[in-house]
Amino acid sequence: MLNPHISLRGQTAIVTGASRGIGEATARRLAAAGANVVLLARSSDAIEKIAGEIGDRAMALPCDMSDANAVATTFAQVTDRFGQLDILVNNAGVIDPITRIEDANPAAWGQVVDINIKGVFHGLNAAIPVMKTSGGGTIINISSGAATSALEGWSHYCATKAAVLMLTACVHKEEGENNIRCVGLSPGTVATQMQRQIRSAGINPVSKLDWSTHIPPEWAAEAILWLTSDAARRYDGGDFSIKSDAGRQAVGLPVQHIDA
Ligand code: NAP
């Protein structure tokens, strides 16, 4: 383990989108650091299996993050069980359908907004009052280079990730003085189902990347663990990236070796 000194013992974390990929790896890593972890996703079988493998400190709760009422009810179940919420990892997100704006179906485009922006907002809206009552907490929103770069076929994804970056800044503005930290993670490209969907769409240069260039989800999970530590406070209110050597070094991850 890269950051064995970071202990989350006694803390409770919610990880959204924990049925696979970055969310699954994060739930496992935060639990290994001692946290109680609550895994949220729509695929109940997958989160129950992962929670069972993690053990007694893990709990699986099926939840569609685009449904405000479901999110409120689910977060209430978490505080009933654990009495507190210290960490929220707002990770659930989608990229399909990948298509140019002129060809996009408005309802499908809007569904991405419902998950990627409103889902993150629902998590913030449910978590902040609970964190406030216990004196603070840490929120990590999963961002993307797409928050600040336009890519063909990704208008829904770029627009929603840009909105998430702004939500991170807004939480910092409103709640920073209440000891609620909010920071984004821009992980670079990660070897998950989302990258398989990107590859099969065949649109824009990201779909052409060699699979070996994608980092394992465990690296993103390690960065998320590191972001819970005081060492990361200087990134609050913005995105921290592990695409750069400096970011990877801060977390303790291997740096890239790019031939000049
Ligand atoms: P992934 O393997 O496709 O996993 C996405 C997760 O989100 C799944 O657990 C999925 O679970 C969940 N999810 C989707 N819609 C949901 C909803 N309505 N309610 C609850 N959960 C929902 O993708 P990933 O690569 O791990 O992506 C995780 C996050 O990282 C996303 O926010 C993504 O935008 C971001 N990211 C990924 C990359 C990359 O290269 N992979 C790069 C930058 C940022 P269910 O389907 O079971 O609900």
One digit per residue, pLDDT tens: the chain, 260 residues? 789 999 999 999 999 999 999 999 999 999 999 999 999 999 999 999 999 999 999 999 999 999 999 999 999 999 999 999 999 999 999 999 999 999 999 999 999 999 999 999 999 999 999 999 999 999 999 999 999 999 999 999 999 999 999 999 999 999 999 999 999 999 999 999 999 999 999 999 999 999 999 999 999 999 999 999 999 999 999 999 999 999 999 999 999 755 43
| 157 flagged as catalytic | yes
Ligand 1 contact via 26 beta carbon (within 6 Å): no
Ligand 1 contact via 22 beta carbon (within 6 Å): yes
What confidence score (pLDDT) does residue 256 get?
Answer: 76
What confidence score (pLDDT) does residue 156 get?
Answer: 98
Pocket test for ligand 1, best of 14, 20, 160, 199 (most atoms within 8 A of CB): 20
Check residue 256 and report its DSSP letter: P
Catalytic choice (157, 219, 226, 240): 157
Given a contact cutoff of 8 angstroms between Cβ atoms, the answer to whether 242 and 186 are in contact is: yes
Those residues whose C-beta lies under 8 Å from the C-beta of residue 181, and which sit 6 or more positions away, are: 136, 137, 138, 139, 172, 233, 236
Pocket test for ligand 1, best of 113, 158, 190 (most atoms within 8 A of CB): 190
The token duo for 5 is 């000194």
What confidence score (pLDDT) does residue 259 get?
Answer: 40
What confidence score (pLDDT) does residue 260 get?
Answer: 36
Instruction: Please give the helix or strand (H or E) that residue 137 lies within, else none.
Output: strand 137-142
Ligand 1 contact via 213 beta carbon (within 6 Å): no
What single-letter amino acid sits at 255? V
Ligand 1 contact via 194 beta carbon (within 6 Å): yes
The token duo for 36 is 């109680």
Ligand 1 contact via 48 beta carbon (within 6 Å): no
Ligand 1 contact via 90 beta carbon (within 6 Å): no
Query: Which protein residue's CA is at the shortest distance from atom 33 of ligand 1?
Result: 93
Ligand 1 contact via 17 beta carbon (within 6 Å): yes
Ligand 1 centroid from CA 41, angstroms: 9
The Cα-based distances of 46 to 42, 72, 130, 223 in angstroms read: 9, 22, 27, 23
Strand ranges of the sheet holding 87-90, from the earlier edge strand across to the other edge: 58-62, 36-41, 12-16, 87-90, 137-142, 180-186, 239-241
Instruction: Please give the helix or strand (H or E) that residue 27 lies within, else none.
Output: helix 21-32
Mapped onto helix, strand or coil, the DSSP state of residue 49 is: helix
What confidence score (pLDDT) does residue 257 get?
Answer: 56
55 CB-contact burial (10 Å; exposed 0-12 / middle 13-18 / buried 19+): exposed
Ligand 1 centroid from CA 110, angstroms: 17
CA distance 243 to 74: 33
Ligand 1 centroid from CA 171, angstroms: 22
CA distance 260 to 257: 9
Query: Which protein residue's CA is at the shortest distance from atom 36 of ligand 1?
Result: 144
Ligand 1 contact via 64 beta carbon (within 6 Å): yes
Pocket test for ligand 1, best of 26, 42, 189 (most atoms within 8 A of CB): 42
Those residues whose C-beta lies under 8 Å from the C-beta of residue 3, and which sit 6 or more positions away, are: 33, 222, 225, 226, 229, 251, 252
